[in-house]
Amino acid sequence: MSMEYFSGLSETAEIANSFGMLTESMKITFAAVMIMATISIAIFMLGMYINLKKWGMGSEGYSLKPKGSIFTFPKALAYQMSAKGHGHGQNIFVTLILDALLQRRALRRSPGRWIMHIAIFGGWIALCIMSVAMFVVEIIHMVGIHIISPEVFREMLSFPNDVFSYILLFGIIVAIFRRLFLKKARESTIAFDSVLLIGLTIIVITGFVADGLRNGNFWGFGMQSDLAPPAALFHVVISLFFCIAYIPFSKYMHMIAGPLTLLANKGGE
């Protein structure tokens, strides 16, 4: 079974096809997205395996001898989070909410930097959650469980999707501004930072353009609606590979390593 997939492209496909504007090569099938998602997740898992193996070669000071096994780090982390492990003894939920989620340590260092981080982190995570939710609704609808139709659910997510997309865009603009006009931020910027910013910018802009082409708003820049399927396909591809597959091999890894470090140290506040 195949179906045009991604943020309501089925409607766009039907409209474009009625005018004879849609070719087979421009259709986005559910199977194609599933294949790309599977490849992205497989690359992500490979990267995590490499990282866990590397972390397994860590210091003996964390209670376990380095073995290079992917199980060494989880064991060491579990020990550190236990009552026997060293650290500040902060409650795990306080650490997760205040330190990992709300990033209070960054706020104390620099409010401006905190605004940038919280906008990028919050926008990205929220969009990711909504994408997964939309995907799940599509799946259960395909297997015959009609709790809610994908079209209705997609419409429900339309407004929050726009809100968090603009929050993410705001965070990216702040990050670019800091690296262009603040000497300290500019001098500390490395190639990894530039790659992340460029990648996020492309993903956000292409998402706005794909949605603009589908809905006919100003982000479509007056282009023809039949460009919506390939524009959405491009957005899907780079989102999957940049925001999933690339994480373990990039500075994005700090989104995973950072909270784990905080948990190991029991907060540190």
Lowest mean pLDDT among 41-50, 66-75, 164-173: 66-75
SS3 labels along 23-39: CHHHCCEHHHHHHHHHH
User: Mean pLDDT, to the nearest integer, of 260-266?
Assistant: 79
Distance (Å) of CA 40 to CA 3, 36, 263: 20, 6, 27
d(CA 52, CA 46): 10
Q: Is residue 48 part of a domain?
A: yes
Q: Is residue 127 part of a domain?
A: yes
Q: Is residue 20 part of a domain?
A: yes
- Domain count along the chain: 1
User: Mean pLDDT, to the nearest integer, of 238-245?
Assistant: 89
CATH number (domain holding residue 202): 1.20.950
Percent of the chain as helix, strand, coil, to the nearest 5: 75, 0, 25
pLDDT for res 13: 42
d(CA 154, CA 130): 9
pLDDT for res 39: 92
pLDDT grade for 88, boundaries at 50, 70 and 90: low
pLDDT grade for 30, boundaries at 50, 70 and 90: low
The yes-or-no verdict on residue 7 having pLDDT over 50 is: no
Lowest mean pLDDT among 35-49, 84-98, 216-230: 84-98
User: Mean pLDDT, to the nearest integer, of 116-125?
Assistant: 92
User: Mean pLDDT, to the nearest integer, of 127-146?
Assistant: 86
Q: Is residue 203 part of a domain?
A: yes
- Give the structural domain span for 139: 9-264
The DSSP output letter for 111 is H
pLDDT grade for 259, boundaries at 50, 70 and 90: confident
d(CA 239, CA 128): 10
User: Mean pLDDT, to the nearest integer, of 88-101?
Assistant: 81
pLDDT for res 65: 57
The DSSP output letter for 85 is S
Q: 9-18 and 228-240 are packed helices; what angle lies between their axes, rounded to 10 degrees? A: 150
User: Mean pLDDT, to the nearest integer, of 23-31?
Assistant: 52
pTM for the model? 0.78
Q: Is residue 3 part of a domain?
A: no
pLDDT for res 186: 81
The yes-or-no verdict on residue 77 having pLDDT over 90 is: no
pLDDT grade for 42, boundaries at 50, 70 and 90: very high
- The whole-chain average pLDDT of the chain stands at 79
d(CA 162, CA 81): 38
pLDDT grade for 202, boundaries at 50, 70 and 90: very high
The DSSP output letter for 180 is H
pLDDT for res 174: 94
For residue 4, the number of C-alpha atoms closer than 13 Å in the C-beta half-sphere is: 22
Kindly give, in sequence order, each residue whose CB lies less than 8 Å from that of residue 169, ignoring residues fewer than 6 positions away.
Answer: 123, 204, 208
pLDDT for res 67: 59
**DSSP-based three-state secondary structure for 4:** strand
Contact 64, 72 (CB under 8 A): yes
More confident position, 248 or 69? 248
Q: Is residue 174 part of a domain?
A: yes
Q: Is residue 78 part of a domain?
A: yes
pLDDT for res 172: 94
User: Mean pLDDT, to the nearest integer, of 88-92?
Assistant: 74
Percent of the chain with pLDDT over 90: 17
